[in-house]
Structure formats: structure tokens, C-alpha cells
Amino acid sequence: MSKIIQLSLLLGAFLSQLHATQSITLAPIAITSTAIKTDELSSTDAVEVYTQEDIEKAHVQNVYEFLNKSTSVFATSAYGNPFLQKMDIHGFGVADGYQNIVVTINGRKMNNVDMVSQLLASISPSSIKKIEIIKSSGIVVGGDGANAGVINITTKQNNTKEVSLYAGSYGTRDASFYAGHKWEKLSVSVSGETQKNDGIREIDTDRNKDENKFTTASIDLEYSLSDDLTLNIGATNTATDVTYAGTMTEDEYKDNPRQQGTSSGFASSYSTQRFDSTVLRSSVKYSINDDISLSAQVANEIKNSDYDLPAWSSTGHSDYNYVSFNTYLDYTTNNLSIKVGIDGFYADLKYENSSNVDLNMEKDNQAIYLMSEYSKNKFTLKAGLRYEIMKFNESNGDSESEDLSGIELGVNYKLNKNSSVFTNFSRSYQTAQLDRLFSYTNPTTGYMGYVLPSKANNYTLGYNHIVATNKFKISTFYIDMENEIYYYSDPGWTNSRNTNIDKSHKYGLDIYDNYILNNQLNMVLNYNYVQAIIDKEIENGDDYSGNTLPGVSDHNVKVIVNYLPNKNSTLSLTQVYRSEAFAAEDFNNNFSQKQDAFNSTDISATYKKKNWEIFTKINNLFNQQNALWVRDNAIYPVSYTTTYIAGLKLKY
């Protein structure tokens, strides 16, 4: 490792002798994936927009890594799966934050009906055109689950072709490609990626490792039948194979986070999961005239998961079938934009395990929505409404239904051509995942009791300032919640169950600053301050009122410094810091062990010329130990050792 660090420093010293000839400027970026198209300066929401260039420069191994190191989103592999990570925005916690974020890919919702996070490994970073993060808003189009906001990902569809290869420590290998071509009426884009890691942690006494691998491939075809009518069809397949190491005690973690751990009570407590997802999708867009267009899209996702826990002699199998559709009418003039839509999602989940549990669960969401935006002089006004009916049932006859409504109101005022202020309000909701409602261990009882939907009132006030050398955004938020969903973990296990926090609130501050000092040096800062407080909740005799929601750090800081010694070269330094927090299950705030602060320093060097690029990257340069605390002496190490990759990219 010392030789790699020395090589990187020598490379930096060599490149710094060259002269910079590159000019960099900043400008407001268009926001294209929301209901009403706008830009950063005119938006009534707190937004972050990251382009294809931003993602390429980061040289990340997956989308989660980019979100965690370059945006305000907190992402972690949590229990050891790098391809199904947990995410959080605005203090909903490491355990359940991802359930309060709606993630879409080209308009298709990626959220699951059970407590499995969004499969962002299915999106190769090389295929992404843009990532847009809308914080504390997005319920009208995003729907069920958008309490914290939405993350909209758009993929490329252009004439570029590229191949990327890299290898690194612990047997890391990766190959990805993207190829797109446009003819007069037809355009085709194909992308794919395969990745493998031999593992870092030991999982048993034979010193086997927690290896993992995945493959993903996607194809999209778009055909213009006429100037007014466009058809699109596509397909994606993703397969993952992951070995999870178990928890360890604090003494084991401090001694060596790469050992197998014994805190579960078993000498070998690892588990494996094989997960496969196939998505078929199609859409049509018809322009009725210059102002009005009609769009419709439908998708079918079929997934299956096999889970194996050797220490418990237990296996589990899940089959998923999702069908989603979205039809909407767009009306746009110079000053007014209106979108009216019908949105639906149906899910069928079948689960069985080696304990003779056999469950069949369904969830059905149907919604109508209206979003409008009006611009006049320096003002932009936004108003939207969503009405949604949610139903679920189980094969034994248990069922529930809810009538839900979401609201968005916002205003933006341009102080001048470079600055604006905005404020918005949203009323959002999240219904419970199916596995919160049913027993996976008791085939007789099955139904465990209804968990009410959570509801949130989000208030945001912000300021934007965008000039050629500085993009500065600051916003403050307050979220008033009722029935926030969580899992009560009884120390004696007898009364453990999914339930609701009666009352809670969150507030904080977001700061983003992209500052260009000169043509050679620029810096990006993302800082988030969050407080998440339980106002009223008593469970099994424990009064949590006034406590801090566990798994939420007060301070989240990410700094990226880029040095460009010449037009071909870039050296980057990234620092990520999160302050300590209460362990994920510590709702009483009284565990003897807390979640340690997270620290990681990354460096990378890139040399790019014409149609090729070479790069190297070192993650966690100073070998900082980081982990997720679930409870006392139940610790999952994450980002706990230095790793590196080096690779080559060809682009045409």
C-alpha cells in the first residue's frame, strides 16, 4: 500500500509541473425529471443536480458511493450488502431512512413493498446522464414514501460509446460499457456492468471471506413514428450474489474489524443472498400540439431472492411481481405549466422459508395528481395535489386500506439574475412495508397487526446564488411528523414489533458550495446539520418522549478539492465526516455504546487525453475504522480499511 501512495504522490508531483489551459465556469443546471421542468435558480424546492461529468470524475464503484461521498445523501452498506444499501435524507435514520425516499429511474419508481432498499446496483454509473435530489418535496409525482424527498436518476441516450475497466485491492474487478446510436427515427442505447470482490472480512474458521459479485445489463430503443409520436421500449436484468459477515463485539471490532466476530453466539454467523431482478418497460409520447402532450409508461419487474443462514439452518425464498403505470397530460406555455396524471402500482409478494412459513401478500396503490407552476416577472409559484388509495391483503383474508393525500406549495423570487430565495410546504405520507404487517416466523398467526401510515408536514426556506465562479445554496427545514414508522426491539424479544412513533419532529440546515478559485483549483462543500426528536412515544413501559431518534448524526460534512494542473489531468481529495450518533436500536438513548463518528479520506488521480483516460483511486487513505452500531456489542464494520482501484476508460 505504501508503494501505491508513493506512486500517486509522484504522479501528482509530475502533473503539477504542467501548465493549466482549461477554463471552468458554473451556471444553473436544468431540472428535467420533475413534474414541471425548471432550473436550479428558479426552483421552489431545495435541489441538488449532478451531471454525467460529475459522476464520471468521481470514479465510483456504484451509485451509492457517489451519493454518499458527493451529495447530501447518507448511504451505507449497513449489514454488509454493497448492492442494496440504506440511505437517509433529513434525519429519518439509518434503519428506516431509505423507506422515506422515493427513487426513480427514467420515471419508474424503484421502491420495494418490503423492507429491502432500492436496487441502485442495477444502474451502472457509466449509463447515467443526471441525478436530481429534491429534498423535503416531491410527493405529488413521487407518491407513497416521499417524506424525505425524491432522487430522480436519468440515463443517457446519445451517440457515445465507452468502455471502462478497473481492478483493485481484495480481488476487486469491474468492467462496464455504454453504447448509444441515433438514426433519423431510431435510437438505441445499451449498457452493462459486471463486478466482483473476493471479500475483506472472514466469515468462518476456515477463513473464507465475505465475497460479492453482481452483473447488470440494460437496453433501450426509441422510435419516432412521426414528428408527434414517439415509442420507447427497454429491459434491464440485474443479478447479485452476496455473502454477509455477522456482527462482532466492540472489543473484536477494535482489535481487528476483518475478523469473523462472535457476538451472535455462533462461531459462524454469516449468511448469503442471491437476488435477481428483470424489468420490462415501455412508454409512448404524443404531442397533440405545441402546448399539449400526452405520455404513458408501464413497467413490469419480476424479482426473486434466496436467503441462507447456515448457523441457524434456515433458508428463505421470496418472489416479487411489480406492475406500475403512469399516464399524464402536459400543458405548457411561456408562463404556465400544468401536469395532470394517473399513477398506479401493484405488487404481489410470495414468501416461504424452512420453518414452514408460507405467505402471499399484495399491495395496490392507485393515485391521481395535479401539478402546476406559474411564472411572472421575478416570481415562480408552484401548487400540486395528489390523492392516493392504498390497499393490501394477505391470502388468509386480512386486509387494510387507506385514503391518502399529498400537497405541495412553493414560491421562488429572483432577487437578480444570479440570486433567488424560495420557500415551500409539502404534506407527505408513507405506508408500511408488507413485512412490517405479517409474521415471518409464525405461519398460523400470519397477521401481526396494522401499522398506520406516517404523515409529515415539511417546511423549507432557502437561498440560491449562482455565478460563473461560485454556486452557493443554503436552506433550512422543519418536519413535523405523526405516526413515524419504526421497529421496537424489546431487549427480551417477546414484545418486539413494528409500530408508530406518535409525534416527532426534525429540523436542520443544508449548505452546498461549489467554489472555483481559479482554473486549476476548485472546491465543493456539502454540509448538513440535523436534529431528529421524538416528541411523544411510550412502548412497553418505556417513555421515549424528548429522546433523539437513533442512527441520526448531528453533523454531516463532505468536502471535495479538485486540482487541475493542466487540461488533461485532475487530482482530487475527498473528505467525508459524520458525527457520532445513538446506536440504531437505542430509542431510550441509554446504551453503553454509541455509533462512532465516521471518517474517510479518499484521493484520486486522472489523466485524460482525446478518447482515453487512466485513473487511480485510494479509498479511506488513513485506514480509519468505521462501523454501524445496532446495539451494544452488535457491530457491523463498514469502510474500515484502505482500498484502491486503478483503471482505464475508452470513449468514442
Give the C-alpha separation, 58 to 606, whole Å. 10
Q: What DSSP assignment string belongs to 404-446?
A: EEEEEEEEEEESSSSEEEEEEEEEEEEPPPGGGTB-SS-TTT-
pLDDT of residue 374: 95
- Residue 137 is placed in which grid cell? 418535496
The string of pLDDT tens digits covering residues 223-264 is 999 999 999 999 999 999 999 888 899 999 999 999 988 866
pLDDT of residue 204: 85
Q: Please give the angle made by the CA atoms of 533, 535 and 539, to the nearest 5 degrees.
A: 105
pLDDT of residue 268: 58
Domain containing 142 — which CATH number? 2.40.170.20
Query: pTM for the full model?
Result: 0.92
What is the Cβ-side half-sphere exposure of residue 73, based on CA atoms within 13 angstroms?
A: 33
| Amino acid, res. 195 | Q
Taking phi over 0 as left and psi of -120 to 50 as alpha, with beta for the rest, 159 belongs to alpha
| Amino acid, res. 595 | Q
Which residues lie closer than 8 Å to 378 by C-beta, 6 or more apart? 413, 414, 415
Identify the domain containing residue 195 by its residue range. 2-651
Return the residue matching grid coordinates 409529515: 456
pLDDT of residue 309: 85
Report the DSSP beta bridge partners of residue 534: 504
pLDDT of residue 2: 46
- Residue 399 is placed in which grid cell? 386486509
First to last CA, the chain: 34
- Residue 634 is placed in which grid cell? 452488535
| Amino acid, res. 378 | K
User: Could you say which residues of the chain have pLDDT below 50?
Assistant: 1-22
Sign of the alpha-carbon dihedral angle for 34, 38, 41, 45? negative
Q: State how many domains the chain has.
A: 1
Q: Which of 348, 351, 347 has its CA nearest to residue 318?
A: 351
